[in-house]
A and B are shown apart, each in its own frame.
Chain A
């Protein structure tokens, strides 16, 4: 899904001087939210969902963007859950160590 999302916003030979997404919607797509697939993101936990001494964020792996709305989709390997959030700080060069 993320691969297709990126490729639809990448230049191609088949449509000249334009990305497929722009040819489709006639709106120049933004790429400012692009992050490396699989990089580490820290998802903010809202203060209703945590106590005073809990961590303010969870360490997750980026999966892509949600189909429905403008949010990131991340995977929490510890809890084995998929999280959807806008409040994420990314560490673009870091990757999850799957061997642990």
Chain B
């Protein structure tokens, strides 16, 4: 035996939570484990901004809704994040009228970008069941698509204006 080493008692009680806390976490799933089988069963939503320069209509935020089954995208341009909830209500009325069934799940990244002031998180937690525990969307395909779309809109709306200002700003 080593000299000078204190005598350790073996643990008598195993705490499950401590062990779990020391475990390595599983990586986030790269693909969703299920896809929606009906329209409006699952809606992905994300908000993008704050951006400067603003668009030609002085909008700073882009809000997207993506239907999981059809991958159809709806986009709203917002002045403020607080308009998110109103935009969602409008969107909800529009699509539910078109399809005839209610939205079942709304999934956002629950991130900083959907601010608590927007009440979208509130709606999501109360009115729509969503069991996803992760902070990034399960369905990476949809998520990636959202990003591609956003970047393309971004280009259209903001980059072009930036170029425009760079070229002609001194004349304005």
Contacts and interface: CB of A to CB of B under 8 A. Distances in A.
Interface of A: 1-4, 7-8, 12-15, 20-21, 23-25, 37, 98-99
Nearest to A12: B71
A14 B141 contact: yes
A21 B72 contact: yes
Nearest to B157: A3
Nearest to B35: A14
B34 interface: no
B24 interface: no
B152 interface: yes
Contacts of B141: 13-14
B167 A8 contact: no
A12 to B, nearest CB: 6
Given A4-B149, A12-B145, A23 B71 contact: yes
Given A24-B67, A98-B164, A98-B168, A4 B145 contact: no
Contacts of B167: 98-99
Nearest to B95: A24
A44 B35 CA distance: 47
B69 interface: yes
A8 to B, nearest CB: 5
A3 B156 CA distance: 8
B73 interface: yes
A58 B39 CA distance: 42
A24 B39 contact: yes
A24 B72 contact: yes
12 contacts: A2-B156, A3-B156, A4-B149, A8-B73, A14-B142, A15-B70, A21-B70, A24-B67, A24-B70, A25-B98, A98-B167, A99-B168
Interface in B65-114: 67, 69-75, 98
B127 interface: no
A10 B110 CA distance: 29
A3 B152 contact: yes
Given A13-B141, A14-B142, A15-B71, A3 B149 contact: yes
Contacts of B156: 2-3, 37
Contacts of B73: 4, 7-8, 20
B123 interface: no
Contacts of A12: 71, 145
Interface in B125-172: 141-142, 145, 149, 152-153, 156, 164, 167-168
